Structure 1
Amino acid sequence: MLKPFIPDRTIRSRPSDAVIRAVVASARNVTDARGIGAERTATTLYPGQQGVIDIITKGTVTPTTSSADLTRQAITDLLINAGGATSGLAQRALSLQFDGTQSILIPTLAASGDHATFVAEAGTIPIRQLAIDGALITPFKLACAFLLTRELIEGSPINAEQVIRALINRSIALGWDTAVLSADAATALRPAGVLNGIAALPATAGGGQVAAVTDLAALAAAVGPVAGSQLAFVCSLSSAIKIAAYVPSLAFPVLVSAAVDDDTVIAIAVGAFATAANPEISVDVSREAVVHAEDTTPLAIGTAGNPNAIAAPARSLWQTDTLGIRLTMRLSWALCASGAVAWTENITW
């Protein structure tokens, strides 16, 4: 019999707990022979937590409902606290919601001190025309999937929550960073990386503190007209440690990403970086599927040909008493101004 899980009230609740607990409840329902349904399982495990029910029932059909608000908060919190550099950027960036729309056009306006001016009483106020050919953000499908044992799901709910949160955070953090912090062109699957079409600035020779400060100053100068004081550096962990040692009083955040090479540093005008998400996340659980256990180039289980191709290694969830968890959401990003990103590679420090 399922018993209510009463969270420790000394632990601060987060909006994204609704997503994690929706996964736990959906997985618990699959292992429950009574088949009472994920919604009822969630009600039993997490009484009074409407956000969990909304995730399970996809209570965001009408974007103006309170259900949409709870789900929107949960998804936003999940994304900005995943732990990657892009999550750190999203905390500071322009954050938008698709809310059923197929695209969002962000007008652009070049930075200028003339855009807000002092005028005389009854004087004519200048009106600036925004560029209507600004950044267009369209939603793309972000998905992650992983396997868990039945024993973990049927054990302590808090253990299951901690493991699932760690898996989701790691998946989103590195997957999002890999796509965003790249020089890859846009495809039918995702937007272009922020480095696409931008030439790297030459690195300073000689190494040491002088080279580090010179490189950081050059990057800041390149994006300064767009960034103002809203600037962030992105680099690997080893480079971040060196920056902290060489410039201990640096006034701008340094975001760490495993997707950035050790010899590369990126500067981004965070106010010109925009993200957009659909306020709905799909949670699916199976214990009977056969999956191709491959996280780089997954294939169909069987492909007709000459000869026929069989994906390997394949895993039967039923035979191995495991559960497959799959989450999908709609997400996108864009740069809203030219000159918002600069980067250098082959640093010598």
Structure 2
Amino acid sequence: MNKYLKQLLDALAAKNLELQGHMTKSLDAGQTPDEETEKSIQAVEAEIEQIEKNIARVKKQIAATEAAAKTATPVAGQTAEEATKSAKGDPDPEGKKPKIEIVPLAKGVGFAQYARAKILSQLAAKEGNYKSALDIAKERGFGDEVQDLVTKATLGTTTDAGFAASLVTENRLVAEFVDMLRAATVFDQLTGFRNVPFNSKIPSQLTGGTASWVGEGAPKPLTNPTYGEVEIKEHKLAAITVYTQELMRRSDPAVDILVRDDLIEASKTLIDNTFLDAGAATAVRPAGVLNGVTATANTGTTAAAYEADLLALINSFVAANLSLDGSYFIMSETRAAQISLLRDALGNTYFQGMALRGTRTLMGIPVITSQTVGDKIILVKTSEILLAQDGGVDVSYSDQATLVDGETTHHLWQENKFAVRVEKFITWAKRRPIAAAFLDYTPTGG
């Protein structure tokens, strides 16, 4: 086993060198990776991720083997349990009775199973076979918690012994899904937002008052701070995913994983794209954090240029009398890797804290990465952003609608498809415009 672990570690080192080679090639050319190089980088990253998973598995097996060796059961007759079996007889001497092992569901799968049970119940009803969602959950072997969540709507009396338990189940399974959604988004990797209620107006100070020393008998100066209001509205995101009815009917556990991951992916993409763009607030969406912000000019992608440009971003905060406490750099994974590869004349890492993988800091400021950011580096201060959101999600289903997705139209009833819609109430607003600043490295035409 240890030999296999060494082989995996060697393979991981080789793949990291290969990844570094791809990144260095683009860096030496003075440009970001082209499409072909980016595909190669993503392929190597996928291989690294798989190798790391296998390393974790092997380490777990090694630890289990070592623990078992320390707690090995003595030979028959050496323990009280063995002596009892010897004196009274062992009802299962050959160990033929099946042993029931309860394997916990992967995080978020219980919520996906709940959604599938509701979908399959509706499909059965349309075929004249009326089955409740609870019946479907039992037939599919979904666990007790999922069954409790399916039946929660009927448990609403104070005399029902299962009432409180069902609420706990609902909260846990839904919370699991919400936690996974949060972990997937750039937005929810940031901390320090100012939480506020929906449909509220928050006063904000636009300019500060002034004070001065006053001589004896001299008039006191007037101070004229200016104030404004930030309005927090109520916005709702809705993500729709489409499945074939045949897929929903399959009992393969992989379908539950597929439903869970699709719902998370659709929701996280919308949240991050909206949060990181420059769009204005409307009745249906909040403003992007870059709305009203002019890009800080960049001077290049050398180590010295990055340093000068990042200091320019930081100085924009300092000039507005904003501290850097609770601020974050947000950039793409690709750009973070480029910066981490920069070396000084002695071959040392130019920016300490910027690793190829894992947790990163840049100039002492935490770095969050996502390809959603594109060709920008964003500096954001979360305490200058007001956030309102509820803690749950709402799931709806339909096989009757006609959905338009760009140039693709889904006629659900005609095509035997089913759509699942996830809705979540969430909105935000900048307390002051300077809550964010950014560098734009988007290539210009010509």
**Aligned residue in 1 for 2:17:** none
**Aligned residue in 2 for 1:309:** none
Q: Cα–Cα, structure 1 residues 232 and 192, in superposed 2: closer, same or farther, change >3 Å?
A: same
Contact 1:149 1:322 in 2 (8 A): yes
2:310 aligned with 1:216: yes
Shift of 1:93: 3.5
Q: Cα–Cα, structure 1 residues 313 and 56, in superposed 2: closer, same or farther, change >3 Å?
A: farther
**Aligned residue in 1 for 2:145:** 48
Number of aligned residues: 293
Gaps of 5+ in 1: 1-5, 60-64, 113-130, 297-311
Shift of 1:169: 2.2
Q: 2:124 aligns with which of 29, 32, 39?
A: 32
Distance, in Å, in 2 between the alignment partners of 1:277 and 1:132 is 25
Aligned positions of 1:1-349 closer than 5 A: 8-9=103-104, 13=107, 16-17=108-109, 19-33=111-125, 34-38=129-133, 41-42=136-137, 45-49=142-146, 52-53=149-150, 70=172, 73-74=175-176, 76-81=178-183, 83-89=184-190, 92-94=191-193, 96=195, 98=197, 102-106=198-202, 108=204, 133-156=228-251, 158-205=253-300, 207-223=301-317, 225-246=321-342, 247-249=351-353, 250=362, 251-262=364-375, 264-287=376-399, 289-292=400-403, 294-296=404-406, 313-346=408-441
Q: Cα–Cα, structure 1 residues 136 and 229, in superposed 2: closer, same or farther, change >3 Å?
A: same
Identical columns (%) = 23
Length-normalised TM-score, structure 2: 0.56
The residue identity in structure 1 corresponding to 2:310 is: L
Contact 2:205 2:227 in 1 (8 A): no
Q: Cα–Cα, structure 1 residues 208 and 347, in superposed 2: closer, same or farther, change >3 Å?
A: farther
Contact 1:236 1:257 in 2 (8 A): yes
Shift of 1:280: 4.4
Distance, in Å, in 2 between the alignment partners of 1:25 and 1:151 is 14
Gaps of 5+ in 2: 1-100, 157-165, 209-225, 343-350, 354-361
Q: Cα–Cα, structure 1 residues 52 and 274, in superposed 2: closer, same or farther, change >3 Å?
A: farther
The residue identity in structure 1 corresponding to 2:440 is: E
Q: Cα–Cα, structure 1 residues 153 and 232, in superposed 2: closer, same or farther, change >3 Å?
A: same
Shift of 1:266: 0.7
Distance, in Å, in 1 between the alignment partners of 2:155 and 2:237 is 17
Contact 1:85 1:177 in 2 (8 A): yes
Length-normalised TM-score, structure 1: 0.69
1:331 is paired with a residue whose SS is: strand
Shift of 1:255: 2.2
Distance, in Å, in 2 between the alignment partners of 1:203 and 1:7 is 56
Q: Which has the larger Rg?
A: 2
1:198 is paired with a residue whose SS is: coil
| 1:112-165, Cα deviation, whole Å (9 max, x unpaired) | 9xxxxxxxxxxxxxxxxxx98553322212111121122332223631221122
Q: Larger strand proportion, structure 1 or 2?
A: 1
Contact 1:94 1:275 in 2 (8 A): yes
The residue identity in structure 2 corresponding to 1:213 is: E
**RMSD across aligned C-alpha pairs, in angstroms?**
3.8
1:32 is paired with a residue whose SS is: helix
Contact 1:219 1:267 in 2 (8 A): yes
